[in-house]
Amino acid sequence: MSETPPDALLFITPGCPHCAAVLEGLGEMVKQMLIGKMTVVNVAAHPEQAAEYGVRAAPWLRLGPFTLVGAQSPAELRQWAGWANGAAGTAHYVEHLLMQGGYRQALEFIDADTDRLGPLLAIVADPEARLEVRLGASALLEAHAGTPELQRLLPQLAKLSRHADHRVRADACHLLGLSGSAAALAHVEICLDDAHPEVREIAGEAMAALGKQNAKG
C-alpha cells in the first residue's frame, strides 16, 4: 500500500447518472485517509478547466497518476488508490487502457515517466495475459527501441529469455534485439539453441539486428 495517499481530481456534470456515487465513494475515502485531497469541478460551471484536462465524459477522475472515466464502484476506487504508487499499479493501469483500446493513452502515460516501462515486463512475463494486452505491452516497449530506458531493462529481459514458457522467451529475445545494446548479444545467443523453433527464429532475427546496430558503432 502507498505510504502517501493519492490526491483526487473529479469532474462532474449536471444529470450525470454515476457522478454522485463516485463523489460519495471518494468522500468516504477522504474520511478514511485513503485519499489525501479531493478537488471537485462542475463542468457546467468551469468548462475551461474541463477543456484543460481534455474531459469529454463524466465522471472523469484523476486519482494519483491514473485517469478513470465512467462509473467506479467503491471497491474499484479503493483498489486504484492502493495502486497509485507502485509498479503493480502501473501494469494494471496499462492493462486497463489496452483492454479499452487506449494504446495512445497508454503511450502518453509511459512517456510522461519512462520509469513506467519496467512494470510492463510483468505483462510480458504472463503468458496467460490477454492477447491484446500482451501485444500492446510489447508495442509500448518497442516504441522505446534503442533508448537508454529500454537498455536499463536488460537484466530483467535476460531473465525472461530463460522463462519456462516459450512465448515469454520469444518476446524477451525480440526486445533484447530491439535494445541495440552489445550487452544483449550474449543473452540472445543462448536462445539460438532454444528447444522451441519460434524462439530460435526470433533469436536469429535479434542477433542480426544487434549485429547491424553494433557494427555501426
Q: List, in order of start, the domains of the chain with CATH numbers.
A: 8-82 (3.40.30.10), 87-216 (1.25.10.10)
Q: Which pLDDT value is given to residue 85?
A: 85
Q: How far apart are alpha carbons 38 and 81 in whole angstroms?
A: 12
Helices (H), the chain: 19-31, 47-53, 74-82, 87-99, 103-112, 121-124, 131-142, 148-151, 154-160, 166-179, 185-191, 197-216
The pLDDT tens digits for 60-95 are: 999 999 999 999 999 999 999 999 988 899 999 999
CB-CB contact of 100 with 67 (8 Å): no
**Which residue ranges of the chain lie beneath pLDDT 70?**
1-2, 215-217
Q: Which pLDDT value is given to residue 216?
A: 60
User: Of all helices (H) and strands (E), which one includes residue 147?
Assistant: none
CA dihedral sign of residues 119, 125, 126, 131 = positive
Q: Which pLDDT value is given to residue 2?
A: 42
Q: Which pLDDT value is given to residue 168?
A: 97
Structure-derived torsion over alpha carbons of residues 110, 113, 118, 123, reported in degrees to the nearest 10 = -30
Q: Which pLDDT value is given to residue 212?
A: 80
Q: Which pLDDT value is given to residue 215?
A: 62
Task: Give the other-Cβ count within 10 Å of 184's Cβ.
Answer: 27
CA dihedral sign of residues 48, 51, 53, 57 = positive
